[in-house]
Structure 1
Amino acid sequence: MQVDAVLVAILGMVASLAGVGLGGMVTRRTYVRQWSRERLTSACLVVVSESSRLQIALNKYRQGSDRPDWIVWNEALATLTLTAKADLVHAAVSIDEAFWRTTHAIETDQVRSADAWDSERSSIEHARLMFINLARRELADRSDVVTRIASRPALPAAHEADAGRRGTSAVKPTKS
């Protein structure tokens, strides 16, 4: 009878230890998954915000300002490369490619007019939208598609020049 009691006690301890071990593994897996998701969310947010900043900086570069600073953008791409699935990385690289093409076009004087800038801007925004929609699908399981980024519409060249002289991108409509 004592052997049965010892056996039951040993089986109880083994079951308890197994439960603690399995619980620890499940907790660790959940923690790692949550940590990875938070890193991915953060990386996606930086890609979206930096791509917006660089798009604005490229327009200013086209108008004679200094060349944009690419450091934070490159860090965002590196972080995303380490945390995201391949399709999201490819979408971010497409934004980067649009930036390179636009920078080259600016530096070779192919983007002088507002119409030329609108074309370049459309290329960048298309790449950004592709990234945003993939990120929404990955992070929020959203199947609906965003079709426009919150940005000012193209303005006629005369308004753009006037806005540039005032140091603002907003032009107030005049009453007729």
Structure 2
Amino acid sequence: MLESLITTVAGAASATVGVLVGGLVTRRGQDRQWSRDQQLLAYQELLSHYARFTMVLKRAHADRSGWDYDWAEWSAVLTRVGLVAPAEVAREVDTVRTPLGEAEFLAAGRR
């Protein structure tokens, strides 16, 4: 009788531990997948805004006219990227460097 009870308790305990460990592993995987999805969306949005910005500048340069850009939306995109990106990417996005001159900007756009 004692042997059956020990076997039953051990089986129930191992099943419970298996369920808990499985739940933790699954949850971690889902968290990683969600994080990757959020990063992809933020990067996609950043590249879209960058492409729009460069087109505005190129058109203004070609037409020899003024230009305007929604800097608030650009800042919001940079903030979203900074929130979901890995630390090293967030640092690069947030780094302020010496701005490019016109010649450097045009050269970079030809690459």
User: What's the TM-score once normalised by structure 1's chain length?
Assistant: 0.53
**Residue aligning to 1:81:** 82
**Residue aligning to 1:46:** 45
Within 2, Cα distance between the matches of 1:88 and 1:74?
A: 16
Q: Which letter does structure 1 place at the counterpart of 2:71?
A: W
Structural mapping, 1:26-175, within 5 Å: 26-61=25-60, 63-93=64-94, 101=99, 116=102, 118-123=103-108, 125=109, 148=111
RMSD: 2.6
Q: Kindly state the Cα deviation for residue 120 of structure 1 after the two structures are TM-superposed.
A: 2.4
Aligned length: 109
Within 2, Cα distance between the matches of 1:54 and 1:67?
A: 9
Within 1, Cα distance between the matches of 2:72 and 2:14?
A: 53
Q: Which letter does structure 2 place at the counterpart of 1:119?
A: E
Higher RCO (CA < 8 A, seq sep 6+)? 2
Q: Which letter does structure 2 place at the counterpart of 1:31?
A: Q
Could you say what secondary structure the match of 1:121 adopts?
helix
Structure 1's 87 and 61: CA in aligned 2 closer, same or farther, altered over 3 A? farther
Cα offsets for 1:47-82 (capped at 9, x unmatched): 111111111223345533441112332222111111
Q: Kindly state the Cα deviation for residue 84 of structure 1 after the two structures are TM-superposed.
A: 1.0
Within 2, Cα distance between the matches of 1:78 and 1:64?
A: 30
Question: 1:61·1:67 contact (CA, 8 Å) conserved in 2?
Answer: no
**Residue aligning to 1:3:** 2
User: What's the TM-score once normalised by structure 2's chain length?
Assistant: 0.79
Structure 1's consecutive aligned runs of 4 or more residues displaced over 6 angstroms after TM superposition are none
Within 2, Cα distance between the matches of 1:53 and 1:70?
A: 12
Question: 2:38·2:84 contact (CA, 8 Å) conserved in 1?
Answer: yes
